[in-house]
């Protein structure tokens, strides 16, 4: 058996600064490192950066004097991630395909391929940590609170986590960029990728309409008054303010409008004025298809911290596991724009327990606020 200091590690080389420094840290720690660049989307259009990213990855591997392999998982991505992405939009939800990509592609197909290359473990540039001190592996937050990516990793299977390394979990982003600059990586100042990987910087509506036909309809108030028209329910998400194109309306003040709901049966988008409108707030949620990193929830009823979006600050909640495996979460304080299709991820201090897609939100009962708005 190989010594721990000489374990062959296959690093996912994206072409970005994070994966470059992850490989550098592993080399300095004494590991035998190889790079593997994967492509998940076949697109030769003006918005695709795959060719540029590959060249950046190749330059980093040349600088580090490590081999770089290349693999295409476009078919697996379309079948295992993109198909569900489209289905969620058809159902009026707002999905996060990066969660499924991590579970099925990066820590699924990629891991299997890396093992065939002779790797003992894989590594990525995620800002998270793994605790192997106990009987089961634990997923911990990265030390950089502003970059922690445990939210995106909560659905990765425990056996995949046990074969993974996150070298950047103990560093801050500024430290990573400094290491990249000190080493002389050409990509040390490369901008972080944002948004959904296969869409890139292209207009979202332009992309989505290639796969789902637009179906315009009415924008209505909770009282049924039409205040505008929408281009298709799939283009909107709860809490959205921009792009509604509701101008000055007779009988309404100049306050901004927000998306507050979708009526799929009637193809109606519900809009309200006032950021504090009760329809925009929820006292809890139901999450389904829960994945628990430990294999099971810590208890049938337990207190935890919850994120309902990646950038959201954690909030205190109480989780109750249902007979069917779903989880009902009640918030200590009401939360704004809890969105079906997004993920509720549960934490206990530094540990990520797991999570699942939000199926529905519990309406916030606030009679005094509702009365004030209708006065």
Sign of the alpha-carbon torsion through 300, 302, 308, 310: negative
Closest to 117 measured CA to CA, from 191, 224, 10: 10
CATH fold group of domain 279-374? Elongation Factor Tu (Ef-tu); domain 3 (2.40.30)
pLDDT at 189: 87
Residue count of the chain = 375
| pLDDT greater than 70 at residue 371 | no
Return residue ranges of the chain for CATH 3.40.50.620: 4-183
| pLDDT greater than 70 at residue 89 | yes
| pTM of the predicted model as reported, rounded to 2 decimal places | 0.91
Buried b (16+ CB within 10 A) or exposed e, 101-124: bbbbbbbbbbbebbeeeebbbbbb
Query: In the chain, how long is the greatest CA-to-CA distance?
Result: 77
Return residue ranges of the chain for CATH 2.30.30.280: 214-275
User: Which positions are annotated as active-site residues?
Assistant: 101, 197
Return residue ranges of the chain for CATH 2.40.30.10: 279-374
Class of domain 214-275: mainly beta
pLDDT at 370: 47
CA atoms lying within 13 Å on the CB side of residue 68: 23
pLDDT at 49: 74
Query: Which of the pair, 167 or 50, is modelled with greater confidence?
Result: 167
CA distance 270 to 261: 5
> Strands 281-287, 8-12: parallel, antiparallel or unpaired by DSSP?
unpaired
pLDDT at 52: 87
pLDDT digits (tens, 9 = 90+) for 326-339: 999 999 999 999 99
Least confident range from 267-271, 287-291, 343-347, 361-365: namely 361-365
CA distance 275 to 261: 14
Class of domain 4-183: alpha beta
Buried b (16+ CB within 10 A) or exposed e, 333-366: ebbebbbbbbbbbbbeeebbbbbbbbbebbebeb
pLDDT at 207: 85
């Amino acid at each position: 058996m190989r010594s721990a200091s000489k374990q062959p590690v296959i690093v996912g080389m994206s072409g970005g600064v994070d994966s470059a420094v992850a490989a550098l840290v592993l080399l300095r720690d004494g590991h035998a490192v190889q790079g593997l660049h994967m492509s998940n989307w076949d697109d030769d259009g003006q918005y695709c950066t795959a060719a540029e990213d590959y060249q950046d990855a190749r330059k980093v591997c040349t600088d580090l004097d490590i081999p770089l392999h290349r693999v295409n998982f476009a078919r697996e991505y379309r079948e295992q991630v993109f198909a569900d992405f489209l289905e969620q939009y058809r159902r009026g939800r707002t999905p996060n395909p990066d969660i499924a990509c991590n579970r099925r592609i990066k820590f699924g197909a990629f891991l299997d391929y890396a093992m065939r290359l002779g790797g003992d473990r894989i590594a990525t540039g995620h800002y998270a940590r793994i605790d192997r001190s106990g009987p089961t592996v634990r997923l911990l937050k990265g030390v950089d609170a502003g970059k922690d990516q445990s939210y995106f990793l909560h659905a990765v299977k425990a056996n995949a986590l046990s074969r993974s390394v996150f070298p950047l979990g103990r560093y801050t982003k500024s430290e990573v960029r400094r290491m990249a600059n000190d080493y002389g990586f050409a990509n040390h100042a490369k901008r972080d990728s944002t948004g959904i990987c296969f869409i890139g910087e292209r207009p979202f509506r332009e992309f989505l309409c290639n796969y789902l036909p637009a179906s315009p309809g009415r924008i209505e108030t909770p009282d049924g008054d039409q205040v505008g028209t929408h281009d298709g329910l799939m283009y909107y998400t709860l809490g959205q303010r921009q792009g509604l194109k509701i101008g000055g309306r007779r009988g309404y003040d100049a306050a901004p409008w927000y998306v507050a709901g979708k009526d799929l049966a009637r193809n109606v988008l519900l809009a309200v004025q006032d950021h504090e409108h009760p329809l925009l707030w929820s006292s809890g949620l139901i999450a389904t298809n829960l994945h628990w990193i430990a294999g099971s929830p810590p208890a049938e009823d337990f207190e935890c911290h919850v994120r309902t979006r990646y950038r959201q600050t954690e909030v205190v909640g109480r989780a109750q596991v249902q007979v069917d495996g779903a989880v009902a979460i009640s918030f200590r304080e009401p939360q704004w724009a809890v969105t079906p299709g997004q993920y509720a991820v549960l934490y206990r201090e530094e540990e990520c327990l797991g999570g699942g897609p939000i199926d529905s939100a519990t309406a916030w009962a606030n009679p005094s606020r509702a009365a004030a708005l209708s006065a």
